[in-house]
Amino acid sequence: MSFKIKPENNILNYSSTEEIDYKTVTNILERDHFVCLRGLIDPVLIDESVQLLKSQFDAKKDRKNYPSNDGYFPNFQRLAIGELGSYAKFMRVFFNPLWADDIYKMHDHFKTMIKIRNKLYKIDENFAIDNITNGLFTGARIQQYPRGGGFIVAHKDTNASKAVDSFCKNSYYQVLLIMSEKGKDYFNGGGFIERKENRIYYEDVFNKGDIAIYNAYTTHGVCDIDPQEDLSLTSLNGRLSAFVTLYESKPDLSGES
């Protein structure tokens, strides 16, 4: 019998973070390496954040380097292309730390995601929300994979997983928020995980506003977004997702995923 995971079987519905059954969540993560939490963030609010992102977007603000190396970044955007020191990728990153202005109205969503992340790690739910804690900070950000070929190659989050080894060795979790709709914002490609030589495109089933979680054992990436389309870097289009990864305060962030 061939191995096959149906992503729809990994969706858990909750109306608040207080309802989350973390034992069930971790059991699914141990079994399949990924899970989806639905009902915690209103897709209408995601649309509002996306519109704010688009209204403030200016490709001239793209930069290649980080404005500081101490973890206390301001709001800024970075165009990440290539594979130097990390994974091959083509994407844009909008850093929106919780100590900076809430210019996209994303901070409440980030706090929900951080609470879930910290609960999974069994640490204080306010750990590293808006400051550097024990040498770690939250890399709160939105990532854009533009139509015309945005992607990140299949990989595991080896660098980010090392950051949590001191308190949760071999138990790394990536919490991401889906902010776009396949079939509307883009049509081909998208986020995937790989399990036993099978590639699962979870956004065929997961929706805008869903929180997807995967663990350290998960090979994942983003397959080329609408590669047949003309590329435009002067408009905000394609696939969007948000992250709250824990990083070291003087990190090499060249491999955001």
At 145-195, the pLDDT tens digits run 999 999 999 998 877 888 888 777 668 999 999 999 999 999 999 999 998
Q: pLDDT by residue (tens digit) across 200-227?
A: 999 999 999 999 999 888 899 999 999 9
Phi and psi angles of residue 110, each rounded to the nearest 5 degrees, phi first = -60, -40
Q: CATH number of the domain that 41 lies in? A: 2.60.120.620
Q: Residue 163 falls within a domain, yes or no?
A: yes
Domain count of the fold of the chain: 1
CA–CA separation, 214 and 217 (whole Å): 8
Instruction: List Cβ neighbours of 191 (8 Å cut-off, separation of 6 or more).
Output: 178, 201, 202, 203, 212, 220, 221, 222, 223, 239, 241
- So what's the pLDDT on residue 156? 87
Q: Residue 57 falls within a domain, yes or no?
A: yes
Q: Residue 2 falls within a domain, yes or no?
A: no
Q: Residue 257 falls within a domain, yes or no?
A: no
Q: Residue 253 falls within a domain, yes or no?
A: no
Which residue in this structure is represented by tokens 């090979």?
Answer: 219
CA–CA separation, 49 and 55 (whole Å): 10
Cβ count near 137 (within 10 Å):
26
Q: Residue 115 falls within a domain, yes or no?
A: yes
Q: pLDDT by residue (tens digit) across 14-71?
A: 999 999 999 999 999 999 999 999 999 999 999 999 999 999 999 999 998 877 766 6
Q: pLDDT by residue (tens digit) across 62-74?
A: 998 877 766 678 9
Q: Which long-range contacts (CB under 8 A, 24 or more apart) does 60-68 make?
A: 62/92, 62/233, 66/253
Task: Give residue 17's domain range.
Answer: 7-248
CA–CA separation, 212 and 38 (whole Å): 9
| Model confidence at 2: pLDDT above 50 | no
CB 195, CB 33: distance < 8 Å? yes
pTM of the model: 0.93
Cβ count near 158 (within 10 Å):
12
Q: Residue 92 falls within a domain, yes or no?
A: yes
| Model confidence at 123: pLDDT above 80 | yes
Q: Residue 255 falls within a domain, yes or no?
A: no
- Residue 187 vs residues 53, 225, 238, 255: alpha-carbon distances, Å: 21, 7, 9, 25
